[in-house]
Each structure stands twice: as structure tokens, then as C-alpha cells.
Amino acid sequence: MSPVTRIAALLASAAVLVGLGIGAFMVIRGPEADPFSDCRRTQVAGGSAAIGGPFSLIDGSGTQVTEADVIEGPTLVYFGYSFCPDVCPVDLARNAVAGDLLAERGVEVGLAFITIDPERDTPDVVGVYSEAMHPDMIGLSGTADEIAAAARAYRVYYARNGEDPDYYLMDHSTFTYLMAPEVGFLEFFGSDVPPAEVADAVACFAGKL
């Protein structure tokens, strides 16, 4: 990623942060109002319901799936693209390591990768890419409209950068979201959060589900 592209991506992520009203501070609510208050690291303006929602996408086998099929338990959800030269593979590898650390502790967590580049990331491509990251990672693609709807639900920013038909890049926000069935959004993790810290947070939430 060129310096200009990197700066654009950072500015885009900052814009998403401002839009979400996310700050790295503890939630003020008491445990009687929020059973997960001891686990939360961050706060989202508008409450946890502001992140996430229904989606209908296509997995690596070509099957149309919904959020209920993908988020069957605590699940780390990441939006990115397979052609990404740096941030995406690092973030997804971090999530994969966190998943393995949790497995060693007897905690199950789902791993999901949703492309923001459906033009190149067909279901076959995201399936192979996700499996290379972790054998249990689910890769999801879809039509441009389906991807846009999922990104809007998770307040994910993305935009094409470049005119080359094959080698363009994508600017996008780079957050991993921890989701759970019925509960919805639980926490988000930036690229700077190490695997062990992600695993600890997921374990805390999982113990209260």
C-alpha cells in the first residue's frame, strides 16, 4: 500500500470512528443494565444495536447464507478483500491466532471474512482465501448490493482506489467485530489489538452468554 493510500485508509478509519462515536473507554453503565459491562473495552454511540444486522451472502461453496447461519455463537467478523497487500491478511491472521488460543482454553469462536470487493472476490476466491487463513474461517461474498447492505449494517466504510481493472486497491475501515446470536454486537477490535487480548475479551463475553 502506497503512503498516499495508507493515509487515505487511516483517514477513512478515523472517519468511521467519528461517525460511530467510538472511544477507547469503559462503558459507564452498571452491571444490572449491561451483563457484559465487565468485559467491554469500548463504547458505541447509539448503543450496541448500532452495529450489525441481517445479511444474505454467499459462502465458499456457493450457498446463500444469512447472519443466523454464520453467527451461531461468538463470532469474529471482519470486512476486507483478498487482494489487500497488508492490513487484511495481518488482521485475519491475528483473528485466526486468537481463535486457536481460545480453542486451547475450550472456548469456541467463529471466524468470518466478508469481502468488500465482490468484483474480484467471487465465492470460490473467498472460500480458498479464508481456508488458507484458518480451516474454520468462513469466507462470504455476494452481489455488489448484498455486500453494500452488509457493510451498511456494520457501518463499514469502503471505496475503490484506482482505475486499473485488475490491480486496483480498496480503501476500507479495518475493525473486527465480535458478534453473538440474539445479542448482536458485543465488541470491536482495531488492528493494533494483539491476539491474546482479543482472546481474553472473547472468553470474557463467552462466559456470560
Angle at alpha carbon of residue 60, lines to 55 and 62, rounded to 5°? 75
Q: What kind and span of H or E run contains 185?
A: strand 184-189
Q: What are 60-115's pLDDT values in tens digits?
A: 999 999 999 999 999 999 999 999 999 999 999 999 999 999 999 999 999 999 99
Domains and CATH numbers, the chain: 3-206 (3.40.30.10)
| pLDDT band (50, 70, 90) for residue 48 | low
Cell numbers at 121, concatenated: 472476490
What is the pLDDT averaged over residues 145-160? 97
| pLDDT band (50, 70, 90) for residue 25 | very low
Q: What are phi and psi of 191, to 5 degrees?
A: -65, -20
Residue 161 pLDDT > 80: yes
Q: What are 5-16's pLDDT values in tens digits?
A: 444 454 455 445
Structure confidence at residue 89 (pLDDT): 98
- Report which of residues 37 and 136 the model is more confident about: 136
- CA dist 11 and 91 (Å) reads 18
Residue 47 pLDDT > 80: no
How far apart, in Å, do the first and last CA atoms of the chain sit? Answer: 39
Confirm if 77 and 176 have CB atoms less than 8 A apart: yes
Q: What is the mean pLDDT of the chain?
A: 87
| Amino acid making up residue 70 | V
What is the pLDDT averaged over residues 200-206? 97
- CA dist 64 and 127 (Å) reads 13
